[in-house]
Structure 1
């Protein structure tokens, strides 16, 4: 018989977060779904399900995060699966983004994820069980003009996930960084990403197409978000989940192409890269 799990999902108002919440409820699990505003609206979308608790929470506000996690514990008694999904994209050349714009991007995508993870982990450690599923991106595997800054936040998510996995494994807690490719969510709609206010003409050839191309691509993405939600459900229920999971043929291709280029570059520079030991050093 399947054991009922309690999920804590950030950014659940739409996109992946909403689909994961729907899938978990359909599976018979309980869900704490967090939104920045209008919790009643999300509750209505999810049919005011009896196993659902919608909690207002901004991941960048640590006190709100602590209170939301406590509210979830009070309602359901435990948390089994944390899904760090909240985040947004920014189209910009790296030079164009101001300090404030850059910090805001990191505050949500990186420091917000850390706020939620710190708030949930004491309960998972006490249980000696649980799953942390961090939503990364295909942009965490390679750089794309205009998305380099956003991608860097997802590189950070991958690195944080790797460190967490090593630290939490002895405590019975599994960590997976899931990197979706382009899915037909509203991530590429103008409501879900921002553009830096400054535009430098020298970047027109590289970043320019991305400024206009994101809207054009919206609605034509290959991935089905409902199928992605099923992948996340599988991760939560498998005994040995992977640490890194690229999802989507486009993500797989990006990972493979980047890995091949890196290997080729390292091989070409191997004599230089291995030339820096002291002359008297004796290899073991």
Structure 2
């Protein structure tokens, strides 16, 4: 294939990462599929001469550097990076421990930074590449019980927008993906951790929230396989979008955020414009 690319995908052992890896392989690309448990990645994806499975804990920069080196040794380059690995620490801010907040940021914000840091020298040297980072509608608007998760996703948003301006002169493009609710494994016990602390004032709402999130697993409307195929479509574009809103619910959320922002702008335009010397 003249358009065959090498993809490096994080969190490829389960959930959306599996679907993205399978879609890339079906499209004729070569894939460096990574995860904390390489045996699980192999079991999920099977065998292929176009597939390399590598152990990668995104919270560890040496792991990221080793994964990129393994991909280069096997396939010669990295053309597309998909920052997919993430976790979900659910809880009210006061009930989340500082350690839980730090772990959320380490996995979902610093982790993508680690892998991207390891990949960028390769993309710079070839003056081409695409960095896809899976954010969330939680990167567009915060929500109760989601302070840690939204903090990590809002961080991703600012980092990716700023990074794009820095690396575009090297021919490297970026896409920030904002999925709505997709039927992945994010809400399983392995990926979702609830707040460790308990404050009486939050008891009633906490019980309701925990019940909602536990029961919502498997009920999400989005099909991750279709999102994976959409990413293949986007990567084939000469000028891919810098942001992709994935799912009808994501579009609805973005429209609500834009409307509220415009309302605030209009309501306080005069006061905001009166602050110069």
One fold, TM greater than 0.5?
yes
Q: By how many angstroms is 1:14 displaced?
A: 0.7
Counterpart for residue 281 of structure 1: none
Q: By how many angstroms is 1:133 displaced?
A: 0.1
CA distance in 2 between counterparts of 1:123 and 1:226 reads 29
CA distance in 1 between counterparts of 2:233 and 2:245 reads 14
Matches within 5 A, 1:1-284: 2-37=2-37, 39-204=38-203, 206-278=205-277
Gaps of 5+ in 2: none
CA distance in 2 between counterparts of 1:255 and 1:214 reads 22
C-alpha distance after superposition, 1:219-249 (max 9, x if no partner):
1110011000011111221111111111111
Gaps of 5+ in 1: 279-284
Give the TM-score taking structure 1 as reference length.
Answer: 0.94
Q: By how many angstroms is 1:148 displaced?
A: 2.3
Q: By how many angstroms is 1:270 displaced?
A: 1.9
Count of aligned residue pairs for this structure pair: 277
Which has the higher mean CA deviation after the structures are superposed, 42-51 or 166-175? 42-51
CA distance in 2 between counterparts of 1:100 and 1:237 reads 41
CA distance in 1 between counterparts of 2:155 and 2:246 reads 18
CA distance in 1 between counterparts of 2:97 and 2:58 reads 22
Contact 1:178/1:245 (8 A) holds in 2: yes
Give the TM-score taking structure 2 as reference length.
Answer: 0.96
CA distance in 2 between counterparts of 1:153 and 1:45 reads 27
